[in-house]
Structure 1
């Protein structure tokens, strides 16, 4: 019996077993390469490519034709697995007779799953970039060799899918790229021990950069009611006095009516103009000659377009007008920058207490505070599509001008009107609703008898 077994275990059998092991190694290579190339960071590969890394360039080239790459890898992987299984069946048939098929199936299933699938894919999943850079040159050559077969297979697959009414889109549009980027922003700091407050601020900044092309200037502008303006008909002394008292460097100048803006006064320009002038010369100074020409922009300008316009014109100050040409407010370069980095304060800024936290967890808020500022500051999710201020949101949701002490519940918050001036909501209390309350439901809960 031993002699017969020794006759079976000859040199050819050892070569066959060696070939099976080599095929398993090739299968593991294909499996790990697929996971590494598809799971590698496109942004990091692009950055390495810009630095001149040829391996990263090959990775990007492979990913540009991902269907052909995956098809070639799968063809190579299946060839090695099938050939390995056939050779293993041959070996086990020689050793154990007709029962060898069962043994070959069990052994190859365990070996292929563990050593050719799970092990290489797990390693590649945790080291995607490193694996992608390492295998890119060899995979590139394999794809070149197997691409004709891969293209034929791809054509057959597309034909079958089209017969089933399934359409394949090869385009990865801007909106999909932006959504992916937003997802990465939300993952920033995930499962990493970092300062939560710092991560929250970084996320807000990154989200704001992406939002620049979707936000209109009217949503962040300083409304005309809050704009300090100069009357050209005032005396030079009065104008200089107003400029000195104002915390702002640039002030619009109007003639007769606030909509008739004729220029923008810069404090430095005034200082240069009045330097060395005597009393009589100062009275004769024409402030219209000192003022620069006003720059009017429509309310429908996006922040991204306006930021680029500020840079192109080397301006910091613009006047916002509506479709009828009526003056609506002002927007500055600082306003746009604050949309990205948050509030920027200096020693001349006026401290406007627009939001005052209360001991019970609620907030007393001025009606002119913008929804975007509240969402940014408290990480709320109030909609700002139909209204830019918190007072405007209440008017939009309530569909009526509320009275003092009326309360509304919508979007998970309770709003109570504290003060109203004519038809304008000037002060309100905002608090988060308890989980038992129904969200997005508008309720009128209280109305005082006097109603104002």
Structure 2
């Protein structure tokens, strides 16, 4: 054959091998979620790709048969087609015993390079760019190719299956999507600009509802405003004016003796109707939902949904009230500043790029978001920043006590009756040790 004919044959072989390489990567890399969306829009080819992915053994066997056959044939034909021309070229400046070997090496290098570049590397890189689109486009011709190779593919798959069983290899594909998978997709979407930063934050918070316990979002015991059965009318009016809450606990004598709760709307109706508020009674007091402090926020959402309530009292294992929580508190956990009342004092105040003034009652999850920390040390032992300081210092903190973790210095600024009110958190620009804890208590 002439040089032109050899070149045409080699080009056809390279195109065939390139098509198989393109198809193999596209069908393997096509994401099921996108294919299902295409199938739901009426594209039958997308459904064929899904079916092929479910039973891919025949396809991969046929693909390997085609790729190896073409590669071997290309090597045989290429070596015989191009070696005489390279031999003539080499003979022009070298006629020794190594001339034939040199021409063979040049011919082999040329054919191998052409197959690597045009039949392997470029097709696979193209397939990775848009695997779903390419998979849908090539599914019909590749099904014909699979039928042609079916007999030999069946024989090869039979041997492969026997070997898998012999070595007890599980060949079932696990398509379960984990939280890490979803998180990785969200991170990729945020980096690509598909998800806005705030949207990414919302989605992360929704998934954290399964991990965050109720105490991380509740109003703590010392901040709960409640009425007693003998509360004076003047005191009730004053609390309604001072605290713009929609619901108030009603207790007998102290906060641990809970009777129920009242809705501020019911009290306002009595005020508008000029009715006395001297005594709270069963007409205004409602039964309150009581929950343990071990519930997660996700479990509490289910409890709110089943009871049709939006307000709950949180108790600990000793039946003591540790706080109250509402549906709005959960929404604030998810939405953050978007639903936090403007007049409400912020728990985290950014002073500059390297320092924050943070309330001691700030939940650890909110702290990690603000400081871009993946985890805190042994965080299962505490819920708030104040708890973190007490856990690390192993004592009741005092002003100027500090803890250094990761690249941050946590310093106690204000303590009120053993309660840590505020801390100054500073990013350390230079650190001599990877992690140190220290306490500098003022006597």
Q: CA deviation at 1:430?
A: 1.5
Residue 134 of structure 2 is matched in structure 1 by: 131
Gaps of 5+ in 2: 88-99
**Residues 188-214 of structure 1, C-alpha deviation per residue, up to 9 Å, x if partnerless?**
34366x9xxx84323322221222211
Task: Please say if 1:418 is aligned against 2:413.
Answer: yes
Against the structure 1 CA distance between its residues 395 and 153, is the aligned structure 2 distance closer, same or farther, given a 3 Å change threshold?
farther
Against the structure 1 CA distance between its residues 115 and 283, is the aligned structure 2 distance closer, same or farther, given a 3 Å change threshold?
closer
Hey, what's the Cα distance between the residues in 2 that align with 1:288 and 1:353?
A: 37
Residue 181 of structure 1 is matched in structure 2 by: 182
TM-score (ref. length: structure 1): 0.81
Q: CA deviation at 1:87?
A: 4.6
Contact 1:273 1:290 in 2 (8 A): no
Of residues 275, 297, 312 in structure 2, which corresponds to 1:318?
Answer: 312
Hey, what's the Cα distance between the residues in 2 that align with 1:71 and 1:217?
A: 54
Of residues 246, 249, 264 in structure 2, which corresponds to 1:249?
Answer: 246
Deviates more, 1:82-91 or 1:53-62: 82-91
Q: CA deviation at 1:431?
A: 0.9
Q: CA deviation at 1:271?
A: 3.2
Q: CA deviation at 1:439?
A: 3.2
Equivalent residues in 2 for 1:284-433 (5 A)? 286-345=280-339, 350-358=343-351, 361-381=354-374, 383=376, 384-433=379-428
Contact 1:356 1:364 in 2 (8 A): yes
- Secondary structure at 2:425 match in 1: strand
Of residues 405, 410, 435 in structure 2, which corresponds to 1:440?
Answer: 435
Contact 2:229 2:279 in 1 (8 A): no
Hey, what's the Cα distance between the residues in 2 that align with 1:117 and 1:418?
A: 63
Q: CA deviation at 1:32?
A: 0.4
Contact 1:382 1:411 in 2 (8 A): no
Against the structure 1 CA distance between its residues 366 and 65, is the aligned structure 2 distance closer, same or farther, given a 3 Å change threshold?
same
**Number of residues paired by the alignment?**
428
Residue 71 of structure 2 is matched in structure 1 by: 81
- Secondary structure at 2:20 match in 1: helix
- Secondary structure at 1:296 match in 2: strand
Contact 1:412 1:438 in 2 (8 A): no
Hey, what's the Cα distance between the residues in 2 that align with 1:301 and 1:142?
A: 57
Hey, what's the Cα distance between the residues in 1 that align with 2:56 and 2:213?
A: 39
Against the structure 1 CA distance between its residues 152 and 400, is the aligned structure 2 distance closer, same or farther, given a 3 Å change threshold?
farther
Deviates more, 1:72-81 or 1:17-26: 17-26
Deviates more, 1:148-157 or 1:398-407: 148-157
Against the structure 1 CA distance between its residues 355 and 115, is the aligned structure 2 distance closer, same or farther, given a 3 Å change threshold?
closer
- Secondary structure at 2:437 match in 1: coil
Deviates more, 1:31-40 or 1:151-160: 151-160
Q: CA deviation at 1:330?
A: 1.7
Q: CA deviation at 1:308?
A: 3.3
Deviates more, 1:17-26 or 1:427-436: 17-26
Hey, what's the Cα distance between the residues in 2 that align with 1:305 and 1:126?
A: 41
Deviates more, 1:26-35 or 1:380-389: 380-389
Task: Please say if 1:209 is aligned against 2:206.
Answer: yes
Hey, what's the Cα distance between the residues in 1 that align with 2:152 and 2:329?
A: 58
Q: CA deviation at 1:364?
A: 2.9
Against the structure 1 CA distance between its residues 62 and 297, is the aligned structure 2 distance closer, same or farther, given a 3 Å change threshold?
farther
Hey, what's the Cα distance between the residues in 1 that align with 2:27 and 2:104?
A: 35
Q: CA deviation at 1:249?
A: 0.8
Hey, what's the Cα distance between the residues in 2 that align with 1:309 and 1:263?
A: 17
Hey, what's the Cα distance between the residues in 2 that align with 1:169 and 1:435?
A: 51
Contact 1:222 1:331 in 2 (8 A): yes
The two structures, once aligned, show a CA RMSD in angstroms of 3.5
Hey, what's the Cα distance between the residues in 2 that align with 1:149 and 1:339?
A: 60
- Secondary structure at 1:343 match in 2: helix
Against the structure 1 CA distance between its residues 149 and 232, is the aligned structure 2 distance closer, same or farther, given a 3 Å change threshold?
farther
Contact 1:232 1:288 in 2 (8 A): no
Q: CA deviation at 1:112?
A: 1.6
Q: CA deviation at 1:183?
A: 1.6
**Residues 63-93 of structure 1, C-alpha deviation per residue, up to 9 Å, x if partnerless?**
3345554344223322333344345456568
Contact 2:230 2:279 in 1 (8 A): no
Gaps of 5+ in 1: 1-7
Q: CA deviation at 1:147?
A: 6.4
- Secondary structure at 1:428 match in 2: strand
TM-score (ref. length: structure 2): 0.82
Contact 1:71 1:150 in 2 (8 A): yes
**Residues 394-419 of structure 1, C-alpha deviation per residue, up to 9 Å, x if partnerless?**
11112222332222212322122223
